[in-house]
């Protein structure tokens, strides 16, 4: 599944690639609606990229060159036909799964072993990758939230030191509540969580049976003191009402 951006628009399109060797192509026909959508796109986003076999990327590369070259002959000599392809997710984590394969099979299946990767290395060697600071992200979130036309409600975390970590000393006296509230950990929300009635995305796997997984989009319909009511927008459970309670979380350190 790829996200295709056309200017300020975003469209989700399914691109099927059955890769069995180094000459396979995507099932996209010239003149089709999908081919026209790709030709008009400015950006193609490929999520969960590190988990895909390198031949999937190579198949898309060959297919885009073939699709775009009739209208632009230079596309035949450009990576992905000259389209910008953004590969998402953490490349330090899960690699492609090779059934019954050994370690070397998994390594050879990764995108890092593709002929495409040397171009990515050259591209990154000439540039710097910049990431925003937490304060910048907070400012952006506050700005976007201010444009949602509904009343905001703040939820505060209840931070404490686990008793198992205190041993014989009373470490709670060393870490006052105000200090605990100021801490920020990767994967955990801040002390103050501000929500409004409107669309949000779930960032944790809460209940896979009911479709409440990382990436599920919902519309918040009511903000209670201890429970948030929402309506699922995506997947097969679209339209179903859910209740999200307070959850106890611990930092992974």
Its pTM stands at: 0.55
**How far is 75 from 83, CA to CA, in rounded Å?**
9
Give the pLDDT of the chain (253 residues) as one tens digit per residue: 555 545 444 455 556 555 666 778 888 888 888 888 888 888 888 877 888 889 989 999 999 999 999 999 999 999 999 998 888 877 776 778 888 888 889 889 888 899 999 888 887 778 777 777 778 888 888 898 888 888 899 888 877 766 655 456 666 667 777 887 888 777 677 888 889 998 888 887 888 777 788 778 899 999 998 889 999 887 666 788 888 888 877 665 5
Query: What pLDDT, on the 0 to 100 scale, is given for residue 76?
Result: 92
178 Cβ neighbours under 8 A, 6+ residues apart: none
Query: What pLDDT, on the 0 to 100 scale, is given for residue 125?
Result: 78
**How far is 82 from 61, CA to CA, in rounded Å?**
10
Domain boundaries, the chain: 2-125, 150-245
Query: What pLDDT, on the 0 to 100 scale, is given for residue 8?
Result: 43
**What spatial distance separates the first Cα and last Cα of the chain, rounded to whole Å?**
33
Query: What pLDDT, on the 0 to 100 scale, is given for residue 65?
Result: 93
**How far is 56 from 237, CA to CA, in rounded Å?**
30
For 108-168, the three-class secondary structure string (H helix, E strand, C coil) is: HHCHHHCCCHHHHHHHHHCCCCCCCCHHHHHHHHHHHHHCCCCCCEEEECCCCCCHHHCCC
Number of other residues whose CB lies within 10 A of the CB of residue 46: 19
Burial classification of residue 45, based on how many CB atoms lie within 10 Å of its CB (0-12 exposed, 13-18 middle, 19 or more buried): middle
Phi, psi of 201 (to 5 degrees): -125, 135
> Is the four-CA dihedral 96, 81, 29, 21 of positive or negative sign?
negative
∠ CA 70-76-79, nearest 5°, is: 130
Scan for tokens 């699922």, then name that residue. Answer: 232
Both tokens of 215, joined, read: 């990436």
Query: What pLDDT, on the 0 to 100 scale, is given for residue 9?
Result: 46
Fold of 150-245: SH3 type barrels. (2.30.30)
């Amino acid at each position: 599944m790829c996200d295709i951006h056309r200017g300020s628009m975003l469209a989700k399109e399914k691109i099927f690639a059955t890769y069995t060797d180094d000459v396979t192509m995507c099932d996209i026909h010239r003149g089709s609606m999908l081919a026209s959508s790709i030709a008009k796109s400015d950006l193609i986003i490929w999520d969960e990229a590190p988990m895909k076999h390198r031949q999937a990327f190579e198949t898309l590369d060959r297919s885009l060159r073939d699709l775009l070259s009739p209208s632009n002959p230079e596309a035949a000599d450009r990576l992905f036909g000259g389209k910008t392809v953004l590969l998402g997710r953490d490349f330090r984590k899960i690699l492609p799964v090779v059934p019954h394969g050994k370690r070397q099979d998994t390594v050879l299946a990764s995108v890092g072993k593709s002929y495409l990767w040397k171009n990515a290395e050259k591209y990154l060697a000439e540039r710097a990758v910049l990431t925003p600071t937490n304060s910048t992200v907070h400012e952006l979130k506050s700005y976007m939230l201010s444009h949602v036309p509904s009343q905001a409600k703040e939820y505060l975390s209840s931070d404490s030191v686990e008793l198992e970590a205190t041993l014989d000393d009373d470490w709670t006296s060393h870490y006052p509540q105000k200090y605990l509230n100021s801490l920020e950990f990767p994967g955990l929300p801040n002390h103050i969580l501000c929500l409004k009635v409107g669309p949000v995305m779930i960032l944790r796997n809460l209940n896979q049976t009911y479709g409440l997984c990382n990436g599920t989009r919902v519309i918040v319909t009511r903000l209670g003191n201890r429970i948030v009511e929402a309506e699922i927008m995506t997947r097969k459970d679209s339209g179903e009402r859910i209740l999200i309670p307070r959850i106890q979380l611990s930092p992974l350190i």
